[in-house]
Chains A and B, each alone.
Chain A
């Protein structure tokens, strides 16, 4: 382990104090390593979850606890990444914050308003994107504004602006199927940003892309985040991606989904996915994640996973 990497991430447990000793040298969350792009504001949390629980009924009728007492606070302008094994309820968490699904108990607040259903202050970019194939790129980007009743002239200005932001200006009249995977991602991003949400929720948006495209989109997302100052909650199963992008990484356990640990990433930006420090920091998180992955594999494959 490289010596300067030890400052790279700070691991905290759920009570918020730092863990010390062992391979990781604990440091208080506000350490000397300052992020170049923004200092996380110490103001009110943008999004806060208090004791959020969700139970499912499986097809066999068995009750299944998907999320268990999630407590989470996200600062305004923060880039938060949520990692966990598949089936841990990461996506569900985003759906709850987006108001597309309702929690069994607990409270979700955005800016001190309780979340009661969908709202355009929180836009979710789905894993499958959910772009509308019957609309052109420009119409997709303008959809949210049209629903809000924003006038055409204003809409067109903003469509142009956001398409330029994601470098898709010359594709405004294309239909979705004519675009590559990476371009579709950017349309989804532009569509989400065009409604000018305070909080951007991203559900494994880059999982299906090739490595080069993903790297490019990481850079673009980081740039757009810096330019627009949005709060981003980004769900991924890729720990390295989480360290590459996040100010903070939250690790969820497998069934019931609970917050196992939080990490503050203090590597200077822009970071690179292949950077040794990113890789090193990711390894520490991955060690914690491994148990959970094994649990999820066991649930999926039964005893075979143990062999």
Chain B
């Protein structure tokens, strides 16, 4: 209750300051939008469906790209963790390549795939693949040996052992990496869409700039923050909490 009150107060002051700055016209309105202008832009965006379409397109790209990178990343991470040779060679390469911002892949993607859906998916996959791979690799290495021994002992082997024992057993270790992968994919997607102009939230942002509509720019930015928060705060945190309860890592 106290915490909620503090937050209400905090946002009231924040918006108050915004109103004040806008009213005082410290900066011209086309550079510094008013809160009600942003509100109107938000309303208009949803009313003419352009925001809904952008959200739909961006989310579809996220689900495809992120899904692909999770599957690939789990496979890659497992391979790296299970081979000393791969660990010492590919493992090092993966870590060093993580410093490359994923948007750097866009030129290659455009040359390879043209200005197509594939190019943007490629950027999204490259954005999150490495963090999923690395977390899977470390998760696999931290995993106590006892689970796979018990699994083999009870008659699980090969793919069955992986799907029924190794993967669920390593989930608590890799959930942070999966979450980070999602955040990276989200960033890659928006930056990709800003450069690569076919629908999506990033394109909406650039359209606002082209139309000199600062209210729309800010409205879309808020939308991106809210969507990111919903996925992170609701989806991933729920999964994490469930895991912790099942495993007894946190009070139920």
A residues neighboring B (CB under 8 Å): 98, 100, 118-120, 123-124, 126, 128-134, 143-144, 146-148, 175-178, 191, 195
With A120-B154, A123-B153, A123-B154 given, can you name 8 additional A-B contacts, CB distance below 8 Å?
A: A130-B146, A130-B147, A132-B147, A133-B247, A134-B171, A134-B247, A147-B154, A195-B154
Closest 6 CB pairs of A and B: A177-B248, A130-B150, A144-B154, A147-B155, A130-B146, A120-B155
Question: Given B152, B160, B245, B248, which contacts A118 in the complex, CB threshold below 8 Å?
Answer: B152
The A-contacting residues of B in range 133-174, CB under 8 angstroms, are: 146-147, 149-157, 160, 164-165, 168-169, 171
Which residues of B approach A to under 8 Å, CB–CB? Answer: 146-147, 149-157, 160, 164-165, 168-169, 171, 243, 245-248
Question: Could you say which residues of chain B place their CB within 8 Å of the CB of A123?
Answer: 153-154
Beta-carbon nearest neighbor of B248 in chain A: A177
Q: Please tell me if the beta carbons of A143 and B248 are within 8 angstroms of each other in the complex.
A: no
User: With the chains together, A123 CA to B154 CA distance in Å?
Assistant: 7
Pairwise interchain contact B149-A147, C-beta atoms closer than 8 A:
no
Complex Cα–Cα for A177 and B160 (A): 25
Question: Cβ of B245: which chain A residues have Cβ within 8 Å of it?
Answer: 175
- Known contacts A100-B149, A126-B146, A126-B149; is A133 also within 8 Å of B156 by CB? no
Closest to A131 in B: B150
The smallest beta-carbon distance between A140 and chain B, in angstroms, is 10
C-alpha gap A217/B98 in the complex (Å): 53
* Nearest CB of chain A from residue B186's CB, rounded to whole Å: 28
- In whole angstroms, how far apart are the Cα atoms of A241 and B151 in the complex? 28
Which of chain B's residues have a CB closer than 8 A to the CB of A118?
A: 152-153, 155, 157
Chain A nearest CB: distance from B157 CB in Å?
A: 8
Cβ of B250 to closest chain A Cβ, rounded Å: 10
Q: List, in ascending order, chain A residues with CB within 8 A of B165's CB.
A: 132
Contact yes or no, A143 B171, CB < 8 A: no
Q: Which residues from chain B contact A175 at a C-beta distance below 8 Å?
A: 245-248
Contact present for A195 and B155 (CB under 8 Å): yes
- A178 / chain B contacts, CB cutoff of 8 Å: 248
Kindly identify which residue among B153, B156, B248 contacts A124, using a CB–CB cutoff of 8 Å.
B153
User: What are 23 inter-chain pairs, A to B, with CB distance below 8 A?
Assistant: A98-B153, A100-B152, A118-B152, A124-B153, A126-B146, A126-B150, A130-B146, A130-B149, A131-B150, A132-B147, A132-B165, A133-B246, A133-B248, A134-B169, A134-B247, A143-B156, A147-B155, A147-B156, A148-B155, A175-B247, A175-B248, A176-B248, A177-B247
Docked CA distance A176–B146 (Å)? 15
**Complex Cα spacing A203 to B20, Å:** 73
Residue of A nearest to B147 (CB): A130
- Give complex CA distance A171, B149 in Å: 25
**CB distance A128 to B146 under 8 Å?**
yes
| Max chain A C-beta neighbours (<10 A), residue from B150, B160, B169, B245 | B150
**Identity of the chain B residue whose Cβ is nearest the Cβ of A98 in the assembled complex:** B153
User: Which A residues touch B153, using CB under 8 A?
Assistant: 98, 100, 118, 123-124, 130
Task: Compute how far the CA of A120 lies from the CA of B154 in the bound complex, rounded to whole angstroms.
Answer: 6
Select which of A132, A146, A148, A177 is within 8 A of B150 by beta carbon: A132
Nearest CB of chain B from residue A283's CB, rounded to whole Å? 35
In the assembled complex, the Cα of A175 lies from the Cα of B171 at a distance in Å of: 16
- A243–B44 CA distance with the chains assembled, in angstroms: 83
Contacts of B248 in A (CB 8 A): 133, 175-178
A26 to chain B, nearest CB (A): 39
CA distance A126 to B156 in the complex (A): 16
- Expressed in whole angstroms, the Cα–Cα distance for A195 and B147 within the complex equals 17
Instruction: List chain A residues, Cβ under 8 A from B151.
Output: 143
Closest residue to A175 on the B side, CB-wise? B246
A176's nearest neighbour on chain B, judged by CB, is B248
Can you name the residue of chain A whose Cβ is closest to the Cβ of B171? A134
Among residues of A, the one whose C-beta sits closest to the C-beta of B152 is A118
The CA of A148 and the CA of B154, in the complex, are separated in Å by 9
Q: Which residues of B contact A126 (CB under 8 A)?
A: 146, 149-150
Q: Which of A126, A130, A131, A177 has the most CB of B within 10 A?
A: A130
Inter-chain CA distance A225–B168, complex, in Å, is 33
Complex-state Cα separation, A57 to B154, whole angstroms: 28
| Complexed CA–CA distance, A118 and B153 (Å) | 6
A126-B150, A175-B246, A175-B248 are known contacts. Are A132 and B156 too (CB-CB below 8 A)? no
In the complex, what's the smallest C-beta–C-beta distance from A5 to chain B, in angstroms?
39
Residues of A close to B243: CB separation below 8 A = 134
Chain A residues in 8 Å Cβ range of B154: 120, 123, 143-144, 147, 191, 195
